[in-house]
A and B are shown apart, each in its own frame.
Chain A
Amino acid sequence: MFAYTIRRLLAAFVLLILMSMVTFLLFNASAQDPARLACGKNCTVEQIASVRHKLGYDKPITTQYALLIKGLVAGRDFPDDAATKKNAPQTITHCGAPCFGYSNFQTSLVSTLIKERLPVSIWVAFFAFVLWMVFGIVSGVIAALFRGRWPDKILVGLALVGYSFPTFFIGLVLYTYIALQWQLVPTPEYISPLSDPVGFLRGAILPAVTLAMIYIAGYVRLTRAYVLEAMGEDYLRTARAKGLNERTIVIKHTLRAALTPITTIAGLDLGALLAGTPITETVFNFNGVGKLTVQSATNGDLPTLTAIVLISATFIIVANIVVDVLYAYIDPRVRYA
């Protein structure tokens, strides 16, 4: 198991390196001059040249990539040339590891930006995750236990309704009615849960609910299907034949089998959300990575975009590994295979 984990981590590392190369190449292969993009519309030729030099875009592409990696591991300086360092050390900006580069648009180091924004996205994603897991799974189990009767029909119907509205619509409706019109919750804003947990819950409830809504629908149906499948298994007949009570049969025998595959899907879904949710964050004006993505994409902010791509990829890959290892832990048949 341990060796397996290590092997997966190594593979993930290689995958990330490849990802970074591809991202880097794609962005550099685009027709636009990165220095010009970074400098903005009204730059003079000299300004562009200086930006180009400062950010290292004048170097050969392989060197640029090497610098990017060096920055990630050890940090780097802008501009990174010996002459400037010696003559005018005060003009050098140091960017500590992990350095994703410098964003001229935000006039800030990308890493600083990410450090600010990432917690917002992560906390909201976790909040949503808890909501959808609890409500999705509970409703799914209830629907399965009452298959064909009214609780089942209502829950599955509701899930379908939730499923069919687009995120921004749900978000806007919640914002307008719950927060503004009826003022049931304070105006959504991000408060760090580390400093004020209750404030965080109150401030982030609407975006979390919005995100959760889309997933709940899927999870109700998924849970219902898996529970029904498990209920048809021979080993449940055995459990009944032992004389177990219904509660043990449902909780210990049915759910254990039904929820195992859901763990996998949930882990991957969460991994994909951690690196930001552009629509929700924009609707509720949360300064998370999602909103940053939208801004960077409209501005052509290459360093920031590269960083976001790499970070999302990392989250997804790590989520995959965690899920696999977790799965092997939950399902003994995988553990020994």
Chain B
Amino acid sequence: MSEEITVAEVAADRPHALGEDFLQVENLKVHFPTEDGLVKSVDGLSFELQRGRTLGIVGESGSGKSVTSQAIMGLHRGSRAQVSGQILLDGEDLLQVSDERLRKLRGNDIAMVFQDPLSSLHPYYTIGNQIVEAYKVHHDVKSSVARKRTIEMLDRVGIPNPQRRIDQYPHEFSGGMRQRAMIAMALVNDPKLLIADEPTTALDVTVQAQILDLILDLQREFGSAIIIITHDLGVVAEMADDILVMYAGKSVERGPVNDVFYTPQMPYTWGLLSSMPRIDRVREERLNPIRGNPPSLINPPSGCAFNPRCDFRHEVDDPQRCVDEVPLFDPEQLHPVRCHIDHARRKEIFESTIKPRL
């Protein structure tokens, strides 16, 4: 099998109908009390997602991406985390629902694929056992039915010989196959929302390409909404319809994928895009990392959290505002940006200084 498929073909029939918001996150805050102080991992995050669409979340390590996804799954319940705000799934607030209701939603309506497939699978149970279990919690069926469904799913995600493989243990699978099995487990109940937290970080490019393809394929088939979290901007470019850029627990830029890639507006996004080596461009002699260190989440910088590392403060009419005043983020806009620089000026700067460097 080596038909060459263009990614466009896959993307073309991705449903683009902008329906109602299926998932709405409103002013989400997740704070962890620790001995050193309150860690504000997520601090006032808002975004929404429609059925059939994919949101890519990018941002520095520690910017709160995983904590956000765990909050949506309700995995902070029972821990010392302080969670506030609203997470509306089809109008139902996941932060308010009962434990029992949440349990019913988990795995059935919302499913998750984790980064490290080996440690995320139970080493003592067969792959089949674990997927059958995931199916049976939400479906009152006989084991033989669940098993049939599992074999079907394994086949669907491209595991050869599913009848035999179903009875093997995770350690008998290769890295790529484990991640496929995780995906099969996540999709066994046809979830309406799939969260993939760095689903391919542990895999090499060949396997990564297979897995991403698989996720897109399944989305086409089931019309699920997807949140994909990653460091890899290439992966986002391939998968996402919209991009959310996070910095220090807040959203700093959000927009349709083309807007964010071709006309990014926030100095942090500029830094992110210019710090990676571009395989599709003429090779530069030197990479341009963002200077300085990631911010403390206990004592985040006042005003704009990016201000200690920002090279564009002088572009603000009154640079002091960057230190004094948190820039607003208007979620109603198509491409909101959290920065004090005037909108028109940002566009100018991007065209004149940033774009040529990218």
Interface of A toward B, CB cutoff 8 Å:
233-235, 237-245, 248, 253, 256-257, 260, 330-333, 336
Interface, chain B (partner A; CB < 8 A): 73, 75, 103-108, 111-112, 114, 116, 119-126, 133-134, 137-138, 169, 171-172, 182, 185
**Nearest residue, chain A, Cβ from B100:** A245
Bound Cα distance from A260 to B138, whole angstroms: 29
- Do A336 and B120 form a contact, CB below 8 Å, given A241-B73, A243-B107? no
Complex contact B103–A245 (CB within 8 A):
yes
How far apart are B184's CB and chain A's nearest CB, in angstroms? 12
B123 in contact with A257 (CB, 8 Å): yes
Closest to A254 in B: B122
Whether A243 and B124, one on each chain, are in contact in the complex, defined by CB atoms closer than 8 angstroms, is no
CB contacts (< 8 Å) of A242 on chain B: these are 106-107, 133-134, 137, 185
Among residues of A, the one whose C-beta sits closest to the C-beta of B108 is A243
Contact of A234 among B73, B111, B116, B134 (CB under 8 A): B116
Contact in complex: B106, A235 (CB < 8 Å)? no
Chain A's interface: helix, strand, loop or mixed, by majority? helix
If A242-B137, A243-B138 touch, whether A260 touches B107 (CB-CB below 8 Å) is no
Nearest CB on A from B105, distance (A): 7
What are 17 A-B residue pairs whose CB atoms fall within 8 Å in the complex?
A233-B119, A234-B116, A237-B75, A237-B114, A238-B185, A239-B122, A241-B111, A241-B112, A243-B134, A244-B107, A253-B122, A257-B122, A257-B124, A260-B124, A332-B123, A332-B126, A332-B171
Closest 6 A/B residue pairs (Cβ):
A243-B107, A243-B106, A242-B107, A234-B119, A332-B169, A235-B122
B133: A residues at CB distance < 8 A? 242, 244, 248
Most B Cβ at <10 Å: residue of A241, A248, A260: A241
Query: CA–CA, A253 to B133, complex, Å?
Result: 11
Nearest Cβ in chain A — how far from B78, in angstroms? 9
Shortest Cβ distance from residue A235 to the other chain B in the assembled complex, whole angstroms: 4
Pair A333/B171 contact, Cβ less than 8 Å: yes
Separation of A245 and B101 alpha carbons in the complex (Å): 11
A79 CA / B213 CA spacing, docked (Å)? 86
Of the candidates A233, A239, A240, A336, the one having the most CB atoms from chain B within 10 angstroms of its own CB is A240
Residue of B75, B121, B126, B137 with most chain A CB atoms under a 10 A cut-off: B137
Q: Which residues of A contact B182 (CB under 8 A)?
A: 238
